[in-house]
Amino acid sequence: MPDPTQQLIVVTGASTGMGAAAARELARRGFQVLAGVRREPDAPRATGIEPVLLDITEPAQVAALAARVAADGRPLHAVVNNAGIQVNAPVEALPMAQWRRVFEVNLFGHVAVTQALLPALLRSRGRVVNISSIGGKAAMPTYGAYAGAKFALEAVSDSLRREVAPLGVQVVVVEPGGVRTEMAARGIATANDLAAGMTPEQDERYGGLVRAINSLMASGTASGLTADAAARVIAKAVTARRPRTRYPVGRDAAVLTRLTRVLPDRALDRVIAATVRRHSATA
């Protein structure tokens, strides 16, 4: 592999969690990391990290990032599409504006960044690393919007991989399970806010389910990997000479991925329902 100190990497959503940890890990390995953040004070601080103001849903900021990369003399080795939000609510109760917001951030923003940086990646024969989720393999109750965007990101990644592989660009998907980051806490708070807006009838139908899923999310996060451990998997996806097409992150992700391959839908439904029931008593 060429000298990392002479190569750029873009990491979106680098303010906290896996994005910040991945930016630090890649900088530690010698890369010059352009860390996309929505506020400069939130940027991770380390030698080799350059904060870049980036809201991936804002075309002007995406264009400015592409211009920054084009103006640099160093090749772009990889873009790590990590930015994301978690919004959980039953399909019936989630307002359409929230559906659109989830897809704008978790799907369309990644496509916009990838489109803007592909010319540089084609020149350098670099790679795209899309941070998906185990939610891109199995959709839990109340995860309709989040999992829908992640399933779509998986499909876009497959299509892109087949388009650009002949051109020398690799596309890799990273699929984390539970990771100890702030995202889950923010997701639970958002889920509670959305639940508060449900009608009495919707609350009767889904209130217990929302509480159980929140309990499950909190438990999975508490027992999950650290952000630094997840970042090491992301770094492997970025640096491996011949990367796999997909990297599950954590035992829960690996197990659930296997289950989705071998179990019929109804059997998987029963497994997920039993998991939710175990958390209903503690919700």
Q: For the segment 211-259, what is each residue's pLDDT rounded down to a tens digit?
A: 999 998 888 777 788 999 999 999 999 999 999 999 999 888 999 999 9
Reported pTM: 0.92
Is residue 272 assigned to a domain? no
User: Which residues 6+ apart lie within 8 Å of 16 measured at CB?
Assistant: 42, 181, 182, 183
Ranges 3-7, 79-83, 176-180: which has the least confidence = 3-7
Counting Cα atoms < 13 Å in the Cβ hemisphere of 59 gives 0
Is residue 97 assigned to a domain? yes
Q: How far is CA 9 from CA 25, 60, 124, in A?
A: 12, 20, 12
Q: How confident is the model at residue 103 (pLDDT cuts 50, 70, 90)?
A: very high
Return the CATH number at 88.
3.40.50.720
Is residue 201 assigned to a domain? no
Q: Which of 104, 109, 112 is nearest to 66 (CA)?
A: 112
pLDDT of residue 282: 57
Q: How confident is the model at residue 1 (pLDDT cuts 50, 70, 90)?
A: low
Tens digit of each residue's pLDDT (9 = 90 or more) over 108-137: 999 999 999 999 999 999 999 999 999 999
Based on the residue annotation, tell me whether 146 is a catalytic residue of this protein: yes
Whether the per-residue pLDDT at 176 is higher than 70: the answer is: yes
Whether the per-residue pLDDT at 165 is higher than 90: the answer is: yes
Is residue 67 assigned to a domain? yes
The SS3 of residue 129 is strand
For residue 50, what are the domain limits?
A: 4-179+227-255
Residues 102 and 86: their CA atoms lie apart, in Å, by: 8
Is residue 279 assigned to a domain? no
**Which H or E run contains 190?**
helix 182-196
Is residue 195 assigned to a domain? no
Domain count across the chain: 1
Whether the per-residue pLDDT at 283 is higher than 60: the answer is: no
The SS3 of residue 249 is strand
Task: Provide the percentage of residues in the chain whose pLDDT is more than 90.
Answer: 81
Is residue 9 assigned to a domain? yes
Is residue 29 assigned to a domain? yes
